Chains A and B, each alone.
Chain A
Amino acid sequence: MPSETLKEQVIRISGVNPLKCMRCGKCSGSCPSYEDMEYHPHQFAYMVEKGEIEKLMNSDSIYKCLTCFACVERCPRNVEPAKLVEAVRLVKIRQQGANHLKAESIPEKLDAELPQQAIVSAFRKYSK
């Protein structure tokens, strides 16, 4: 899929206009997951604007975001970076044929605390 359509998809799903970003970095200054992320909230805004969605999709950063919305709350220009992270995550999940959860990988993930319902819903969400 060409990156331009991915960019359009991310912008449509998130409802965010990354052009509003003035690159102050307050989002990344607020982010509690900063150290765990490869790409940081301000980079999401910049990279979505440049159309580098695939890099974001293939990075673990999209799963490290806690969706705490500190960046959304504090952004002086209402860019809402957390919504961009969520949108990239959704674009990744919605990819047809991309099987993110394979049945054979389940046994190693199992532990006594994990509710079975979580596995069922994870299958619904990630196995396509």
Chain B
Amino acid sequence: MQRIGVFVCHCGTNIAGTVDVKAVAEALKNEQGVVFSTEYQYMCSEAGQSIIKNAIKEHKLTGVVVCSCSPRMHEATFRKTASSAGLNPYMVEIANIREQCSWIHKDMEKATEKAIILGRAAIAKVHLNAPLTAGESPVVKRALVIGGGIAGIQTALDIADAGFEVDIVEKKPTIGGKMTQLDKTFPTLDCAACILTPKMVDCAQNEKIKIYSYSEVESVSGFVGNFSVKIRKKARYVDETKCTGCGLCTEKCPMKKVPNEFNLGMNNRSAIYIPFAQAVPKIATIDPDHCNMLKNGKCGVCAKICTAGAINYKQEDEIVEEKYGAIIAATGYNPINLDKYDEFAYSQSKDVITSLEFERLTNAAGPTSGKLLRPSDGVHPHTIVFVQCVGSRCGAEDSKGGKSYCSKICCMYTAKHAMLTREKYPDTDVYVFYIDVRTPGKNFDEFYRRAAEEYGVHYIKGMVGKVMPQADGKLLVQGSDLIAGEQLKINADLVVLAAAIEPDKSARPLATMLTASMDTNDFFTEAHPKLRPVESPTAGIFLSGACQGPKDIPETVSQASAAAAKAIGLLCKDKLTCNPCVAHSDEMMCNGCSQCEKVCPYGAISYEDKEFRMPNRTTAIRRVAKVNPAVCQGCGACTVTCPSGAMDLNGFSNRQIMAEVDAICR
């Protein structure tokens, strides 16, 4: 027979405001097995915890029920309290009378009645609790960073700096990500390449960092401290160990009409290519969709001229399997597709471009060698209109693929574009249509004011309604000037759209592999929006950069270092304490149907053939389920799936759950 103590928390007025806590403590006193029952203002406070500790000793409690907030909040706290008073921590149960009762009800009488029922259920469960002991599992001292943009690079450098091995998987032929495509960076206007390429080189030269470029994560199994990851190294048809990056092949390749993705299709590259001059690793890659040799066997020029003999048309994808202790997602973002925004004539006119395209048009390594020229005719534009919030801040039921969130970076990069245009080409009129100018950041608002005050950028409060391409090649921009109370018509040469940003498409399948949760916009969800912003709720998975939400470079770098710090904290440990609430199967009841194996998200269940004694001294071999306790996370999917009731979860056994239900229905 258990000796149970009940502790009801007021949580200030959070609970006591709606629930009569004294009545709850009083009512639960009469439950079977309860030898002590009390209430206190803040059970989680030091004084509250000592009430629990003293009661455990004084009344020789064997079980504790705390009626308080969600177990997600303070279960760990109260387990520690019990443990320090000599009670097994798994003899503590939480009745959630805050989130599931006081916060959602208004009627005191009914809320009190419900709190008593919830407490009763927890007491019924404690009667069947058994002490559990947590095991330990070792930690592989190596981290995996998925995505090699500025976020992934910074995280990898910081982890390597702490002395741990770290691998970067990047799906493109080079690391560097979006930042390589930018010209200048706000608010200090340093050249993006100048500050990024040294970091890329550091990654390549750091002996703790291994870069898997042109590679993708194929599958992930295992658990915190012990992930096993398969990486697909896509065939680049060039031997990485031999290629010197001389670039001769890219010059001689006869197939030169391939849209260059680095310049967003605004010029062409050859079928064998190095994305840009400072690529890391600087190795050529053959694009199999455009190479004549790979498509129909008629060419082979690159193989003939390569002095290093690096070309290998027979190269195949290679799968590498590695073990990691921690995984950091850094998959980044992309601008959204604007094809459905007909009103801005993006797909009709070459002179309506996105801000990222504008970035390439002003970059010295871009298609125009840094001269700002109209894409349609190569003439210098004299009137430029920037449109903010294209696809950002849209209603939830937007039919054009617009996003409900603010993309955060557009106000600042548009101020940068407008300012730099006015500085380089003072003969250019620059208009910015804005809904709100949002510049919360160090030196951000000052930057925007400089664009308006010192550089004479025309900021217009209003939105563009439509852009009409004219016969003379101009673009007639019609929009609101809400402050003047006018409808403006501007004859522009170039229109630049600040397209919303969205998470990279690879993030969703990756989240499935990692069992990491995502929000409805496909951004990774953090474990706590304020207090655990760089961790996924899935243990051992960390978040770096724009895959968690829109971010500029300073914020991305800070978050990347924060994610690294969290990962280092994990890698420093030699052993991790496991969760003892894992599943196990009753071999006598298991019929080997494989249902549990199919639903297990962690791959923790396998089957084995076992010999069983049968009546009349015979034996039989039966196939039964076996749970690997190190891999099981205790989600309970198998226990509800098992048709014969053979699967059970420690700490949440079927008997315990039914006892709770019985107590509620009593």
Contacts and interface: CB of A to CB of B under 8 A. Distances in A.
Interface of A: 20, 22-31, 34-35, 40, 42, 70, 73-79
Contacts, number: 73
B435 interface: yes
A89 B480 CA distance: 24
B394 A29 contact: no
B463 A26 contact: yes
A30 B465 contact: yes
Contacts of B478: 29-30
B281 interface: no
Nearest to A76: B394
Interface stretch (B228-236, B395-403, B641-649): B395-403
Which 5 residue pairs are nearest across A and B when measured between Cβ atoms?
A30-B465, A29-B465, A25-B480, A26-B463, A29-B479
Given A25-B463, A31-B487, A42 B482 contact: yes
Interface of B: 343, 389, 393-395, 397-398, 402, 435, 461-466, 478-480, 482, 485, 487-488
Contact of B480 (A20, A42, A76, A79): A42
A29 B398 contact: no
Contact of A26 (B395, B397, B398, B465): B465
Nearest to B388: A24
A28 B480 contact: yes
A81 B479 CA distance: 16
A22 B435 contact: yes
Nearest to B485: A40
A35 B482 CA distance: 14
Given A29-B478, A34-B487, A42-B482, A76 B393 contact: yes
B397 A78 contact: yes
Contacts of A40: 480, 485, 487
A26 B402 contact: no
B465 to A, nearest CB: 3
A29 B395 contact: no
Nearest to A71: B465
A121 B458 CA distance: 50
Contact of B464 (A22, A23, A29, A34): A29
A25 B487 CA distance: 10
B398 A76 contact: yes
A28 B393 contact: no
A29 B431 CA distance: 15
B343 A74 contact: yes
A27 B462 CA distance: 10
